[in-house]
Amino acid sequence: MNPYYQKSGITLYNADCREVAKFVKCDFILSDVPYPDYYADEYGYFPPMFLNDFSCRQLIFWSAEAEFPLSFTARHVWNKNQSNHGAQYEFIYERNGNSHRKVFTYYMINSTVAASFGSDTFTGHKSQKPIKLMRKLIQEFIPEGSVIFDPFSGSGSTLAAARDLGYQAVGCEVSEKWCSVSVERLAQQSLFTLPNNRLHLDVGDSPAQKDLFTLEAGSAAGKSPKPAPRR
């Protein structure tokens, strides 16, 4: 299978991830799995379950509105740092790891204005993830020299983050439109800097990182968290 894009250790396929998974070799999976209302229209199968075929450690985003269908060893929180609309947070599930719970505070990239706060570019993708957040997750959980696989790469945030940090990464996206957008983002000069040849560690967009695990406790007591909007 010929890649849609291949440069500087980053490879992108415009294809069904189940086909790419037959030959791709990776150490870690870092991906935003499609939300439930996408399954029938876009895939015709339940995407998360095919991930059971991988033996590598997995970090997977999942909406606050749905139960995570796979076993996991840790549940982290993405605090979107927004209060005016939509879900305040989403969970990040980790498989086969031994990490303690962590909170990551980064602006959601849902408009051009929001993107400017996060030093990012808004692509119009409904579930675009901040490149700064993806860089932080890679730095936090994935050792240098690892190969990352994103089977649902969307607008290419994982690939751009891996490129910035010098990791090899393979992405897969069924939509040619978002493959094209991903290539445009990868062609842009990174806003990420390496001062004095040392890795610059991203910090959250807000200095205050609210402990959102109190929300989990509330949920366990029968109080449902504010659901994420349907995408």
Give residue 109's pLDDT band: very low, low, confident or very high (50, 70, 90). Answer: confident
- Mean pLDDT, to the nearest integer, of 102-118? 80
Average pLDDT over residues 169-186: 94
Q: Look at residue 220 in the predicted model and tell me its pLDDT.
A: 34
Please report the DSSP string for the chain in residue order.
Answer: ---SEEETTEEEE-S-HHHHTTT---SEEEEEPPPGGGIIIIISS-HHHHGGG--SEEEEEE-TTS---S--SEEEEEE----SSS-SEEEEEEES--PPP-EEE-----SHHHHHHTT------TTPPPHHHHHHHHHHHS-TTPEEEETT-TTSHHHHHHHHHT-EEEEE-S-HHHHHHHHHHHHSPPS---GGGSPPPP--SSS----THHHHHHHHTTPPPPPPPP-
Note the pLDDT tens digit of each residue in 36-91. Answer: 655 555 555 556 667 776 666 668 776 555 566 677 888 899 998 765 566 788 88
The pLDDT of 147-152, averaged and rounded, is 94
Q: How far apart are CA 121 and CA 218, in angstroms?
A: 35
How far, in Å, are 25, 171, 203 from residue 21 at the CA level?
8, 10, 33
- Domains for the chain: give ranges and CATH numbers: 5-220 (3.40.50.150)
Q: What is the pLDDT of residue 45?
A: 58
Position 159, amino acid: L
What distance in Å separates the CA atoms of residue 151 and residue 172, rounded to the nearest whole number? 5
Give the pLDDT score at 177.
Answer: 94
Q: Tell me: the pLDDT tens digits for 187-204? A: 986 656 554 444 444 555
Q: What is the mean pLDDT of the chain?
A: 76
